């Protein structure tokens, strides 16, 4: 029996996604979203042709943070579970990649998938006890996880793998010869490592973003949202709460973990101090300011958390006569933006866009 | 055996700090049903204020004057935070509250570094660092335990014997009924925040002579404070205090005899998760039954 036969018995309007009926300036909303996606994709492809060096490195970092924030959004925004400890999964991904490269001599590009698997398992396992903790208590448990992580990474017992306090220095991810030769034949110049790092990151990020897009718009995604909105009725509808919630934790950890892998590859170095609670705060800031229940929001969030320290530096340098400790400025701005978002636009930047779209749209 | 006694006694001393923080955590939890993730950073910031009041570069006040002034300022600050930041979002979902707590965490942490720079500072103690019982406990640690116990006595008396303490308990237990009998619930909430901030400030000022004063000094300590509150029971102030002392001793035992000093925070993590899973009500807490 195909789905059309089943749907043939219900009135047409029940079959339609209400979103399909919204028209913005003469263009249906779903079409607009799709066009938006392709414009973004085109931008991602064009960027390395225009920029090089530190600029393109920064764009890669934005995509990396976008993935990390996306992981948190999938968990908190779409499934309603809180985590203040995603820096821990970020660390698991980064260290998995680093140890595979450093100890097993694996090439950097082969480590992404195994690292993703490790993070999924780690997240799934942490999700199991998390099932019994709701809301606030889960926040507390993950808060404890984030605080304990840096100390755990420094532990002498595993220092032969993790490099202890010193961390691990990794090989530079050079582009494969065949890609280099293709680029050479087209542009006539060698592909720089910075550009290649970006291209590799972008490749992984686009695939994972598409995966998240499909997940959220699928039956599974609707189940996750149902659990967030009303766990009891979700259960009544036959959704296996335990399975979905711990899997959501696993998938979320996987996204943030892959971001960690990319972080290790891009920076060619990692140490426990990169995985403190401050990092978890960063993800939360990105998620909340971008819009926690939105995929597009993660892109904005990734840009936001990377750009704020730069803006803070700019402010500090212009006020250099009055400010002695500019490092403090970033956290202050993060905090102010968090409170501002909670007060003024609880759905984040994505919610703001949604409201604007609603204002200028007409119903078909 | 000497080592065992030494570790137990010194555990009691750090436990006193955890007990203070745990008490502050429970006071807020009782009042608004939320953990204050910024509790440690608020305490740290209060300690910086005390340092500024005492230091020669600041106002150069004597210790006990600065101590009392800091408690008063923290009280005002805590109450102000409740009135300004939390009162407008009292009906918002849990996530909004957690985000605001994290925002405060981030802001206090940076503000401390921003205003007072990031280098570790010495913090005076009125008790001195001379050995109290040779090789077992120093005079400062004895002072820590004494101050904590006095504080607990005062708080107990306040809640048990004063009308305003009774009103605060009523506002926390049942805001609606309390409002009906004329208790100003919002005012009581602000008062609770003020008290919790003061208790945290005391904890900060007691621990700073041991850890040195830095913006990150309270991060691990707060985790133990949470562990103490969870072990003792989040609905019981007495439980929180006992839990705080227990966690302090357990931390030292585990650190010395079992896992080594490097995994002390992991002990707190495991403790929190295990207690929440096995006995969520803690030692003395009341079992909360939710109607579905």
pLDDT for A186-240, tens place per residue? 887 888 889 999 999 999 999 999 999 999 989 999 999 999 999 889 999 899 9
Q: Among residues 116-145 of chain A, which lie with CB inside 8 Å of chain B?
A: 129, 132-133, 135-137, 139-141, 143-145
Q: What is the DSSP pairing of strand A22-24 with strand A27-28?
A: antiparallel
* Domain contains A202: yes
Q: What's the pLDDT score for residue A10? A: 56
Which is nearest to A107 in space by CA: A171, A167, A180, A162? A171
Instruction: Answer left, alpha or beta for residue B135, where phi above 0 means left and psi between -120 and 50 means alpha.
Output: left
pLDDT-derived band at A70, boundaries 50, 70, 90: very high
* Domain contains A170: yes
Domain that holds residue B144: 11-216
| Alpha carbons A185 and A189: distance in angstroms, whole number | 8
Check CB contact under 8 Å for A339 and B272: no
Q: Among residues 265-294 of chain A, which lie with CB inside 8 Å of chain B?
A: 277-278, 281, 284-285, 288, 292
Q: What's the pLDDT score for residue A27? A: 76
Check CB contact under 8 Å for B110 and A145: no
> Which residues in chain A are contacts of B100 at CB distance < 8 A?
338-339, 342
pLDDT at B90 over 50: yes
Check CB contact under 8 Å for B103 and A342: yes
Q: What's the pLDDT score for residue B225? A: 92
* Domain contains A347: no
For tokens 């007060």, name the residue: A343
Q: What is the ipTM of this complex?
A: 0.89
Check CB contact under 8 Å for A284 and B102: yes
* Domain contains B156: yes
Q: Which residue would you say has higher pLDDT here, B136 or A130?
A: A130
Question: Shortest CB distance from B220 goes to which of A129, A147, A284?
Answer: A147
Q: Which residue would you say has higher pLDDT here, A140 or B118?
A: A140
Q: What is the DSSP letter of B213?
A: B
* Inter-chain contacts counted by CB atoms under 8 A, chains A and B: 142
Instruction: Answer left, alpha or beta for residue A271, where phi above 0 means left and psi between -120 and 50 means alpha.
Output: beta
* Domain contains B162: yes
How many folded domains does chain B comprise? Answer: 1
> Contact, B18 vs B248, CB < 8 A?
yes
> Contact, B217 vs B211, CB < 8 A?
yes
CA atoms within 13 A on the CB side of B261: 1
* CATH number for A199: 1.10.3470
Domain that holds residue A215: 25-275
Question: Shortest CB distance from A342 goes to which of B37, B100, B117?
Answer: B100
For residue B97, give the chain A residue with the closest CA.
A342
pLDDT at A145 over 70: yes
Report the interhelical angle of A295-318 vs A348-360 (nearest 10°): 110
Q: What's the pLDDT score for residue A15? A: 56
- Largest CA-CA distance found in chain B, in angstroms, rounded: 59
Long-range contacts of B63-71 (CB under 8 A, 24+ apart): B63/B124, B63/B125, B63/B126, B64/B126, B67/B205, B70/B46, B70/B201, B70/B205, B71/B198, B71/B201, B71/B202
Question: Shortest CB distance from B89 goes to which of A145, A335, A342?
Answer: A342
| Alpha carbons A148 and A131: distance in angstroms, whole number | 21
Check CB contact under 8 Å for B98 and A139: yes
Check CB contact under 8 Å for B276 and A329: no
For tokens 């953990």, name the residue: B35
| Alpha carbons A67 and A93: distance in angstroms, whole number | 12
| Alpha carbons B26 and B192: distance in angstroms, whole number | 10
pLDDT at B196 over 80: yes
How many folded domains does chain A comprise? Answer: 1
pLDDT (mean) for A160-166: 87
Which is nearest to A173 in space by CA: A94, A258, A267, A100? A267
* Domain contains B251: no
| Alpha carbons B90 and A83: distance in angstroms, whole number | 21
| Alpha carbons A103 and A111: distance in angstroms, whole number | 12
Check CB contact under 8 Å for B223 and A148: yes
Contact status of A315 with chain B (Cβ, < 8 Å): no
What does pLDDT average to over chain B?
87
Q: What's the pLDDT score for residue A6? A: 45
* Domain contains B104: yes
pLDDT-derived band at B194, boundaries 50, 70, 90: very high
Check CB contact under 8 Å for A328 and B115: yes
* Domain contains A231: yes
pLDDT-derived band at A18, boundaries 50, 70, 90: low
Phi, psi of B137, deg, nearest 5: -150, 140
Check CB contact under 8 Å for A339 and B88: no
Contact status of A327 with chain B (Cβ, < 8 Å): yes
Q: Give the tens place of pLDDT for each residue, B218-262.
A: 988 999 999 999 998 888 888 888 999 999 999 888 888 887 778
pLDDT (mean) for A131-142: 86
Check CB contact under 8 Å for A325 and B105: no
For residue B33, give the chain A residue with the closest CA.
A136
pLDDT at A106 over 50: yes
Check CB contact under 8 Å for B102 and A135: no
For residue A157, give the chain B residue with the closest CA.
B262
* Domain contains B243: no
How far is CA A335 from its chain centroid? Answer: 20
Burial class (CB in 10 A: 0-12, 13-18, 19+), B154: exposed
CA atoms within 13 A on the CB side of A183: 16
pLDDT (mean) for A290-303: 91
Q: What is the DSSP letter of A9?
A: T
> Contact, A317 vs A326, CB < 8 A?
yes
Q: Give the tens place of pLDDT for each residue, B4-54.
A: 888 888 888 889 889 989 988 888 888 777 889 999 999 999 999 999 999
| Residues ≥6 apart with Cβ < 8 Å to A251 | A71, A74, A120, A123, A215
Q: What's the pLDDT score for residue A1? A: 38
Q: Among residues 215-234 of chain A, which lie with CB inside 8 Å of chain B?
A: 232
Q: Which residue would you say has higher pLDDT here, B123 or B261?
A: B123
Check CB contact under 8 Å for A335 and B107: yes
| Alpha carbons A68 and A76: distance in angstroms, whole number | 13
Helix intervals (H) in chain B: 2-32, 39-54, 63-81, 94-116, 139-161, 163-173, 175-180, 185-211, 218-232, 237-253, 264-278
Q: Which helix (H) or strand (E) holds B138?
A: strand B137-138
Which is nearest to A309 in space by CA: A327, A322, A336? A327
pTM of the entire structure? 0.89
Which is nearest to A243 in space by CA: A214, A222, A223? A223
Instruction: Give first-to-last CA distance, chain B, whole Å.
Output: 52
């Amino acid at each position: 029996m195909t789905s059309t036969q089943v749907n043939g018995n219900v009135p047409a309007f029940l079959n339609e996604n209400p979103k399909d009926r919204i028209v913005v300036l003469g263009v249906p909303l779903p079409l607009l979203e799709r066009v938006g996606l392709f414009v973004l994709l085109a931008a991602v492809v064009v960027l390395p042709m225009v920029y090089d060096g530190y600029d393109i490195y920064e764009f890669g970092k934005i995509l990396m943070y976008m993935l990390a924030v996306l992981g948190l959004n999938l968990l908190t925004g779409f499934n309603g579970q809180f985590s203040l400890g995603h820096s821990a999964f970020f660390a698991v991904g980064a260290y998995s990649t680093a140890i595979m490269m450093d100890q097993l001599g694996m090439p950097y590009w082969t480590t992404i998938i195994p690292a993703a698997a490790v993070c999924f398992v780690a997240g799934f396992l942490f999700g199991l006890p998390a099932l019994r903790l709701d809301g606030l208590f889960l926040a507390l448990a993950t808060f404890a996880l984030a605080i304990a992580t840096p100390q755990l990474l420094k532990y002498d017992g595993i220092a032969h793998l993790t490099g202890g306090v010193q961390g691990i220095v990794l090989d530079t991810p050079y582009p494969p010869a065949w890609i280099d030769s293709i680029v050479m034949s087209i542009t006539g110049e060698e592909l720089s490592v910075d550009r290649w790092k970006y291209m590799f990151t972008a490749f992984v990020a686009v695939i994972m973003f598409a995966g998240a897009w499909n997940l959220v718009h699928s039956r599974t995604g609707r189940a996750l949202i149902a659990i967030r909105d009303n766990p009891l009725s979700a259960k009544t509808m036959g959704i296996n709460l335990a399975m979905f919630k711990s899997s959501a934790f696993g998938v979320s950890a996987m996204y943030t973990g892959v971001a960690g892998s990319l972080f290790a590859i891009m920076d060619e170095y990692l140490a426990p101090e990169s995985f403190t609670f401050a990092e978890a705060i960063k993800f939360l800031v990105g998620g909340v300011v971008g819009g926690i229940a939105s995929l597009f929001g993660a892109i904005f969030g990734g840009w936001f958390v990377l750009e704020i320290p730069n803006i803070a530096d700019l402010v500090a340098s212009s006020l250099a006569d009055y400010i002695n400790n500019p490092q403090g400025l970033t956290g202050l701005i993060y905090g102010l933006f968090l409170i501002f978002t909670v007060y003024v636009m609880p759905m984040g930047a994505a919610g703001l866009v949604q409201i604007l779209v609603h204002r200028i749209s007409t119903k078909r | 055996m000497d080592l065992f006694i030494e570790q137990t006694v010194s555990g009691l001393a750090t436990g006193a700090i955890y007990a203070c923080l745990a008490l502050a955590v429970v006071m807020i939890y009782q009042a608004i049903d939320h953990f204050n993730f910024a509790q440690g950073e608020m305490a740290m910031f209060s300690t910086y204020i005390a340092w500024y009041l005492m230091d020669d570069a600041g106002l150069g006040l004597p210790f006990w004057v600065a101590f009392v002034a800091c408690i008063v300022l923290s009280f005002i600050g805590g109450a102000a935070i409740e009135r300004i930041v939390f009162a407008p979002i009292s009906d918002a979902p849990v996530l909004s509250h957690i985000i605001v707590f994290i925002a405060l965490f981030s802001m206090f942490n940076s503000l401390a570094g921003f205003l007072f720079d990031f280098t570790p500072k010495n913090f005076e103690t009125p008790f001195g660092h001379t050995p109290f019982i040779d090789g077992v406990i120093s005079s400062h640690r004895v002072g820590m335990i004494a101050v904590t116990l006095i504080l607990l006595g005062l708080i107990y008396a306040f809640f048990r014997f004063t009308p305003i303490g009774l009103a605060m308990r009523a506002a926390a237990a049942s805001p609606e009924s309390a409002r009906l009998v004329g208790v100003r619930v919002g005012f009581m909430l602000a008062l609770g925040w003020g008290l919790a901030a003061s208790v945290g400030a005391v904890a900060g000022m007691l621990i700073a002579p041991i850890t040195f004063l830095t913006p990150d000094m309270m991060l691990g300590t707060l985790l133990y404070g949470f562990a103490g509150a969870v072990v003792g029971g989040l609905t019981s102030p007495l439980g929180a205090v006992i839990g705080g002392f227990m966690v302090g001793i357990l931390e030292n035992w585990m650190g010395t005899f079992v896992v080594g000093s490097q995994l002390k925070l992991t002990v707190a993590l495991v403790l929190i998760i295990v207690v929440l899973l096995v006995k969520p009500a803690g030692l003395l807490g009341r079992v909360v039954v939710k109607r579905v």
